[in-house]
């Protein structure tokens, strides 16, 4: 998902901000008064009084720990007490303010803090934060993992947290030795004094807690970095590679029950009749509960002592559904509707003179159809809810713990300060765990509430199956693009008339007020035109369809990059120009980062110099999203009509890189996910309102045999870092398509939604 941090902060609705601040303040009150039970879920982080004193027993604020008074000007997200714990043995545990679901921020953020702290990296650990306001995005003012903002928005924040912690340790050592703090330095987890004497951070932690928290700190010159910029192994690598990593789906609580939900086959449909006699006869089934589901629908929850009896119970239900009051979208009919809309004027996002189009020497008329796509994370959705009187505790992998906590409080009828969210490691998400409606959290709370009414006091884990996940909605929207381009024999584009048709992601959400302007959802048009100097008229239609939609990794750029980069390439081919040289000329002098990324990919791939094997061709694409630029040069072939991607060379410009290994991994993973857009069967389709796909057998995802060789090269930069969770995805599909077009002589335009 994508947000421009400064714009969002400036234009977020005041009512939303006030509501969130009020709720989060209440949550903070509870967090400040309670122990951090989330620590217990990581056995290596269990703490006793004998283990040493924490510099801020996260996520509790300093005042709750009797620490030295923080500077009055510091906000919660600037307080070391919420983020840093130092044990007696010198172990430093850093709390991260984001969900890690594969991107490596549980290593990257601690690297940033440890750099300024001068910590011993071998003793650094990390844990997730919760819904405390301290863990809100410092730029957005809300809890959010999305928009590739984790490192970008928290880079300075975590540097300052590390520097403040270091200053407090130095002050404590100075007081103990009776010397001026300016005479001391730090190195690899020690404060070093006159004559080389040392005190370890663990020995100083308790005294450091009593030192004032400095408001202003001096940060290192980047030339002094010893961690930032160095390829660093991930802190979770051992746990994940050995199968020991726990995710939300792995939560186990004493007496916990498991629930699955029978949801309506058409979004928002109601129950017509229910026969649950066979279900109740299944051993292990504890309750069958009618309950509301997402989008005003109704469903049935089966609560049992394990997943298997719950699933068997759901399979045994005899249910009739009432779909009379909801729309029943059909992919074929939608495609016809979208195509018709694409021929009509829409809301204008860009304006230019289209008069030269009629007399242009060369013209391209193009249509692109991009289907609905499921997020399909490896770990299906899940949420565990424990009710205890007027309090509730939740466990799940969430990208928006603050928003989800408020939704849970509303569903359960509790005060926000009485709802605690334990953020778990998540096995993928790609946007699906950041839902403005909090659908799966609200549903899980609804199950727990209904179970409590039925006399069940045990915690309840609501678990989605793979089929539930694929059929359960919140897809990348289906889009139709229609373009008319006129250009001359030299490839000068005279007029580009472009129309986009697709559902708005943010309409009806808290983000609508600042993401939808003049009837146009900003996520639908991001990536259009730039970086090319072309006269473009761009109009948009946002039809209302009974299909829940959501950001999907790289959001609007998933379709805009494909349309832009394949059309630019087609103009170059038509006028017999080198596609790299043509792009460079169209960029002019205003896009040095695009040029640097493209030139790096070209140089490292051997493009134009290396002789390709017979039957292979180069493909090129470059695109900026989330303020980072990725260029791909690929090698592809076509055998028996089937395209094959052999190699990918990436040129990346994301400014300063905290951990090159994480950037490499993100680009490799994003490229593979981008490849999923090119596979037959990689689409979600509907018939009479029912999603036709249900599992990886009919919703194609890339397999290991599809993975090409990927090499990643990064443009050196000292400028503040930008995001890398998503930018590697958009240019992959068009680069592949451009290579295939050079082999076949035909442009690859997705023309059907299935």
579 in Cβ contact with 569 (< 8 Å): yes
Compare 518 and 26 and report the one with higher pLDDT: 518
Domain with CATH 3.30.365.10 in the chain: 5-234, 248-325+381-463, 345-373+474-744
> Which alpha helices (H) appear in 179-267, and where do they start and end?
201-209, 237-241
We find that the CATH architecture of domain 248-325+381-463 is 2-Layer Sandwich (3.30)
Calculate mean pLDDT across residues 721-744. 97
The residues, ordered by sequence, that sit 6+ positions from 581 with a Cβ below 8 Å of its Cβ are: none
Mean pLDDT of all residues in 278-301: 98
Per-residue pLDDT tens over the stretch 617-659: 999 999 999 999 999 999 999 999 999 999 999 999 999 999 9
Cα separation values, 642 from 639, 685, 730, 743, Å: 5, 23, 22, 12
- Cα separation of 550 and 505, whole Å? 5
Contact present, 628 and 652 (Cβ < 8 Å): yes
**Which position has the higher pLDDT, 510 or 536?**
536
Residues 6+ apart with CB under 8 A from 707: 672
Q: How far apart are CA 205 and CA 389, in angstroms?
A: 37
- Phi, psi of 133, rounded to the nearest 5 degrees: -60, -25
Both tokens of 749, joined, read 């335009």
Quickly state the pLDDT bin for 71 (edges 50, 70, 90).
Answer: low
Query: Strand 92-96 relative to strand 124-128: parallel, antiparallel, unpaired?
Result: parallel
Q: Is 412 exposed, middle or buried, given 0-12, 13-18 or 19+ CB atoms closer than 10 A?
A: buried
**Joined tokens for residue 443:** 């549903």
Tens-place pLDDT, residues 146-165: 999 999 999 999 999 999 99
- Quick one: pLDDT band at residue 40, thresholds 50, 70, 90? very low
Q: For the chain, give the percent of residues with pLDDT over 90.
A: 88
Average pLDDT over residues 10-21: 41
Dump pLDDT digits (tens) for 188-223. 999 999 999 999 999 999 999 999 999 999 999 999
709-720 pLDDT per residue, tens: 999 999 999 999
Query: Is the pLDDT at 12 greater than 90, yes or no?
Result: no
Alpha-carbon dihedral angle through residues 113, 115, 121, 124, given to the nearest 10 degrees: -10
CATH number (3.30.365.10, 3.30.70.2860, 3.20.20.70, 3.40.1080.10) of 5-234 reads 3.30.365.10
Please give the Cα distance from 404 to 569 (Å, whole number): 44
Average pLDDT, the chain: 91
Q: Determine the average pLDDT of the residues in 513-522.
A: 96
Q: What phi and psi, each to the nearest 5 degrees, are found at residue 288?
A: -120, 120
* 588 burial level (CB within 10 Å; 0-12, 13-18, 19+): exposed
Evaluate the CA torsion angle 504, 507, 508, 512 in order and state its sign. positive
SS3 content of the chain, % helix, strand, coil (to 5): 35, 25, 40
| Tens digit of each residue's pLDDT (9 = 90 or more) over 127-149 | 999 999 999 999 999 999 999 99
Q: What is the pLDDT of residue 73?
A: 82
Decide which of 28 and 528 is more confident. Answer: 528
Q: Which residues sit opposite 470 in a β-bridge?
A: none
Spell out the CATH class of 345-373+474-744. alpha beta
Quote the pLDDT of residue 679. 87
The answer, yes or no, to whether residue 503 has pLDDT greater than 60, is yes
CA dihedral sign, ordered 341, 346, 351, 352: positive
pTM for this prediction: 0.91
Return the minimum-mean-pLDDT range out of 24-28, 58-62, 82-86, 683-687. Answer: 58-62
Residue 701, number of CB atoms within 10 A of its CB? 16
**pLDDT exceeds 80 at position 287:** yes
**Tens-place pLDDT, residues 242-276:** 999 999 999 999 999 999 999 999 999 999 999 99
pLDDT-based confidence at residue 437 (cuts at 50, 70, 90): very high
Gap between the Cα atoms of 405 and 425, Å rounded: 17
């Amino acid at each position: 998902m994508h947000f421009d941090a400064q714009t969002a902060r400036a234009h977020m609705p005041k009512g939303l901000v006030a509501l969130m601040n009020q709720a989060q303040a209440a949550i903070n009150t509870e967090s400040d008064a309670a122990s951090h039970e989330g620590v217990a879920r990581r056995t290596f982080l269990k703490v006793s009084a004998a283990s040493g004193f924490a510099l801020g027993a996260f996520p509790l604020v300093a005042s709750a720990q009797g620490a030295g008074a923080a500077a009055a000007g510091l906000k919660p997200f600037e307080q070391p007490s919420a983020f840093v714990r130092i044990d007696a043995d010198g172990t430093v545990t850093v709390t991260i303010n984001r969900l890690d679901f594969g991107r490596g921020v549980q290593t990257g953020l601690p690297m940033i803090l440890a750099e300024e702290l001068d910590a011993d990296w071998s003793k650094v650990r990390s844990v997730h934060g919760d819904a405390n306001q301290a863990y809100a995005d410092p730029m957005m003012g809300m809890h959010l993992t999305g928009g590739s903002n984790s490192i970008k928005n928290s880079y300075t924040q975590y540097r300052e947290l590390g520097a403040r912690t270091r200053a407090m340790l130095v002050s404590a050592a100075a007081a103990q030795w009776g010397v001026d703090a300016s005479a001391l330095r730090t190195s690899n987890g020690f404060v070093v004094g006159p004559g080389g004497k040392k005190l370890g951070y663990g020995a100083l932690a308790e005294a450091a807690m009593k030192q004032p928290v400095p408001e202003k700190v001096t940060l290192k010159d980047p030339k002094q970095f010893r961690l930032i910029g160095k390829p660093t192994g991930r802190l979770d690598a051992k746990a994940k590679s050995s199968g020991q990593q726990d995710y939300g789906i792995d939560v186990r609580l004493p007496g916990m029950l498991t629930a699955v939900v029978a949801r309506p086959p058409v979004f928002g449909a109601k129950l017509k009749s229910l026969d649950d006699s066979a279900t109740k006869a299944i051993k292990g089934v504890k309750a069958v509960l009618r309950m509301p589901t997402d989008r005003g629908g109704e469903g049935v929850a089966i609560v049992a002592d394990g997943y298997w009896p719950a699933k068997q119970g759901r399979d045994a239900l005899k249910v009739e559904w009432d779909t009379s009051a909801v729309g029943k979208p059909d992919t074929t009919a939608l495609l016809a509707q979208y195509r018709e809309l694409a021929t009509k004027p829409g809301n204008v996002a860009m304006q230019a003179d289209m008069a030269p189009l009629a007399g242009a020497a060369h013209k391209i008329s193009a249509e692109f159809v991009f289907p609905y796509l499921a997020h399909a994370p490896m770990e299906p959705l899940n949420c565990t809810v424990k009710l205890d009187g007027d309090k509730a505790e939740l466990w799940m992998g969430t990208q928006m713990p603050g928003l989800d906590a408020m939704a849970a409080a509303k569903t359960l009828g509790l005060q926000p300060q009485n709802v605690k969210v334990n953020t778990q490691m998540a096995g993928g998400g790609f946007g699906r765990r950041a839902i403005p409606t909090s659908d799966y959290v609200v549903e899980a709370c609804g199950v727990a509430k209904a179970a409590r009414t039925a006399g069940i006091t045990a915690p309840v884990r609501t678990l989605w199956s793979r089929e539930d996940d694929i059929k359960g909605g919140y897809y990348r929207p289906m889009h139709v693009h229609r373009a008319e381009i006129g250009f001359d024999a030299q490839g000068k584009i005279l007029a580009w008339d472009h129309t986009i048709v697709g559902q708005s992601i943010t309409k009806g959400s808290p983000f609508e007020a600042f993401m939808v302007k003049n009837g146009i959802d900003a996520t639908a048009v991001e990536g259009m035109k730039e970086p090319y100097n072309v006269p473009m008229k761009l109009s948009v239609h946002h039809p209302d369809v009974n299909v829940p939609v959501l950001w999907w990794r790289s959001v609007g750029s998933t379709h805009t990059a494909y349309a832009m980069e394949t059309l630019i390439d087609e103009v170059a081919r038509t006028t017999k120009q080198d596609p790299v040289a043509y792009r460079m000329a169209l960029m002019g002098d205003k896009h040095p980062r695009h040029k640097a990324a493209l030139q790096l990919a070209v140089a490292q791939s051997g493009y134009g110099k290396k002789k390709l094997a017979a039957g292979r061709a180069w493909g090129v694409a470059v695109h900026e999203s989330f303020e980072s630029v990725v260029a791909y040069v690929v090698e592809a072939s076509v055998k028996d009509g089937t395209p094959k991607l052999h190699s990918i060379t990436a040129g990346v410009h994301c400014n300063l890189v905290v951990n090159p290994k994480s950037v490499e991994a993100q680009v490799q993973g994003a490229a593979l996910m981008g490849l999923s857009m090119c596979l037959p069967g990689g689409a979600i389709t509907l018939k009479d309102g029912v999603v036709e796909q249900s599992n990886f057998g009919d919703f194609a995802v890339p397999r290991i045999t599809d993975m090409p060789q990927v090499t990643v090269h990064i443009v050196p930069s000292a400028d503040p870092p930008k995001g890398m969770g998503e930018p590697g995805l958009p240019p992959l599909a068009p680069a592949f398509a451009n290579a295939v077009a050079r082999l076949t002589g035909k442009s690859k335009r997705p023309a059907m939604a299935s």
